[in-house]
Structure 1
Amino acid sequence: MKVSVIGGTGFVGSHLVERLLADGHVPHLLVRPGSGSKVVQPEQCRLFEGDVTDQAALEACLAGCDAVVYLIGILREHPDRGITFEELQFRGVERTIAAAHRIGVQRFLLMSANGVEAQGTPYQRTKHRAEEAIKATELDWTIFRPSVIFGEPHGRMEFCSQLKHDIIDSPLPVPLFFDGLAIPEAGRFQLAPVSVQDVAAAFSRALTEPAAIGATYPLCGPDVLTWKEILSTIAAASGKTKLMLPAPAAVIKVVAGLLDRWPWFPITRDQIKMLLEGNVCGSSAAFDQLGIVPQRFDAAALGYLKSD
């Protein structure tokens, strides 16, 4: 199949392109000017210069394709550079849907996120609106909702390498966030990290799985771990030990409110809020249907951190 990938130069996108090629597909990639060096195996892909705001470039990228995959997502906004949740996680999806209609691409796969909700943070709300937009069409859509994603970064931002850089490599103790006065609950909120290779495999297999049409798949890894356990695993994979101390979320949010407008500050208020909500789901049925045995989250799986 010829598959248009919107967001194919990012972390998940680089792994999806590898998987599509391994499965015999031909990726068509929308590539921003100056980003061509980020493309995986460019000689086997078709590249179209432009970005998601460029309708003509979108249509050129989709032309002749059997399916389109929309992967673009951000963790924090930079409005001065036009990088906002509204623009990239919702309006971009709308434009790609419109291009798919005009070009005649019926199959549409969307990467959303576990925990999206209509009344959540701007990140969650725009992901939710994107889901509603694709559900309102007559396209053959599939939605994926991954938890936090880990794996070889390929030089991009990735969950574990970012935590290693911001927290484990820092001289400061590891913060175990807690809400209110619940100190005994510090660092006990749970996440279920999912391997980027499993996410890529899910997208690729869904392309040819009739049962995936009209389905929304939660994608969480098989290990449900507390924040403390995740950071301990990252530290162990990095060959380090760290002091861990309770950190009141209310205080961190106040500090973030003052500083999270600058990229060097490692976390935003909304990210703290979403962390404390946890991020787990039941994915056994999804992985079984797609024929995937999900990878464990352990020090062995994080070997890439040793050279980070």
Structure 2
Amino acid sequence: MRISVIGGTGFVGRAVVAKLLNDGHQIRLLVRSTSQHKAFTHPRCTWIAGELNNPASLQACLDDSDVVIYLVGLLRERPAAGITFEALHYQGVKNTIAAAQASGVKRFLLMSANGIDAAMTSYQITKLQAEQALKDSGLDFTIFRPSVIFGDPHGQGRMEICTQLKAELIDSLLPAPLFYSGVLPVNAGSFELGPVWVDDVAAAFAIACHRTDTIGQTYELCGPARMTWKQLLTLIAQAAGKSKLMVPAPAAMIESVAAVFDRFAWFPVTRDQLRMLLAGNVCGDDGFQRLGITPTPLTARALTYLRQ
């Protein structure tokens, strides 16, 4: 099968491309000039140099393909550089849909995100807009909504949750924050996440490429167990061989500080990220079971890459 991948050089993208190549597919990647060092070098993997806002390069990437996979995701905006949720989550999907329609590619797989129905942040709103644009496109779509994704980032750490938390919170000289809303810290750090292994996410995309029963479906992807924020930080510290002091941190106070500093990349959390964290990120739908995949649990042993 001939598969075009948009966003194939990132953390999740590399895992998806590796799985597809292992399954014997022909892969075509849209690669920016600044990301060519991240792209796979493989006899069945072809690079197309270009940008999401360039119709010609998108068209060249999708021509003669059977499937297009859109994996571009952004955790934090950099408006001065043109890197925004609107541009990458929504407009990039619309541009790719147009290229697919022009190229005759009927099958479109989209990586969205779990928990976006709350629509309380720009991240969530643009993800929802992209989903709706795909549903309205007339293409044979499948949408995946993973929770927070863990796995060896192979040096691309900022998009991998555990590497990022280790660098910004566990390695810090300051105590790790156990965020809570309200006045009293009775439930500090108790909001729950559903960490999912990157290779399980890749397997879901690979299955959908050839299973017609996934057309028109949306799959929430979470790991096999829920984990509180405090449990996650404790596990990361354990895997890194460290002992970490953790203290309750009132969300209202953090938000007031973030209002001043979250426009700077060095500040560890934005107001929107904090709001989404406090809302939790667990699945109501067992997407992996529907796909016949047994998800991998997050354990200290699975995080050995944090010691590298």
Q: Which TM-score applies when normalising by structure 2?
A: 0.97
What aligned pairs does 1:138-149 form with structure 2 within 5 A after superposition?
Answer: 138-149=138-149
Alpha-carbon separation, structure 1, partners of 2:270 and 2:76: 8
Give the AA of the match of 2:298.
F
CA RMSD of superposed structures (Å): 1.0
Q: Which runs of 5+ in 2 are unaligned?
A: none
Q: Where does residue 265 of structure 2 map in the other structure?
A: 263
Q: Is the 8 A contact 1:221 1:283 kept in 2?
A: no
Give the AA of the match of 2:221.
L
Q: Where does residue 64 of structure 2 map in the other structure?
A: 64
Q: Is the 8 A contact 1:176 1:244 kept in 2?
A: yes
Q: Percent identity?
A: 56
2:42 aligned with 1:28: no
Q: Is the 8 A contact 2:9 2:31 kept in 1?
A: yes
Please state whether the residue corresponding to 2:266 is helix, strand or coil.
coil
Q: Where does residue 51 of structure 1 map in the other structure?
A: 51
2:289 aligned with 1:288: yes
Q: Where does residue 135 of structure 2 map in the other structure?
A: 135
Alpha-carbon separation, structure 2, partners of 1:34 and 1:271: 27
Q: Is the 8 A contact 1:118 1:129 kept in 2?
A: no
Q: Where does residue 2 of structure 1 map in the other structure?
A: 2
Greater shift in the superposed pair: 35-44 or 155-164: 35-44
Q: Which TM-score applies when normalising by structure 1?
A: 0.97
Alpha-carbon separation, structure 2, partners of 1:244 and 1:117: 31
Give the AA of the match of 1:296.
P
2:203 aligned with 1:166: no
Alpha-carbon separation, structure 2, partners of 1:42 and 1:82: 31
**1:52-76 deviation per Cα after TM superposition (whole angstroms, max 9, x unaligned):** 1111000000011000000111011
Q: Is the 8 A contact 1:118 1:128 kept in 2?
A: no
Q: Which runs of 5+ in 1 are unaligned?
A: none
What aligned pairs does 1:172-187 form with structure 2 within 5 A after superposition?
Answer: 172-187=174-189
Q: Is the 8 A contact 1:116 1:124 kept in 2?
A: yes
2:196 aligned with 1:194: yes
Please state whether the residue corresponding to 1:216 is helix, strand or coil.
strand
Give the AA of the match of 1:37.
H
| Residue 227 (structure 2) aligned to one of 206, 225, 242 | 225
Greater shift in the superposed pair: 95-104 or 287-296: 287-296
Give the AA of the match of 1:249.
A
Distance 1:118 1:169, change over 3 A: closer
How far is the alpha carbon of 1:292 from its aligned partner? 1.2
**1:132-175 deviation per Cα after TM superposition (whole angstroms, max 9, x unaligned):** 00001211000000000000102212110000000000011110
How far is the alpha carbon of 1:209 from its aligned partner? 0.8
Q: Where does residue 304 of structure 2 map in the other structure?
A: 303
How far is the alpha carbon of 1:39 from its aligned partner? 0.8
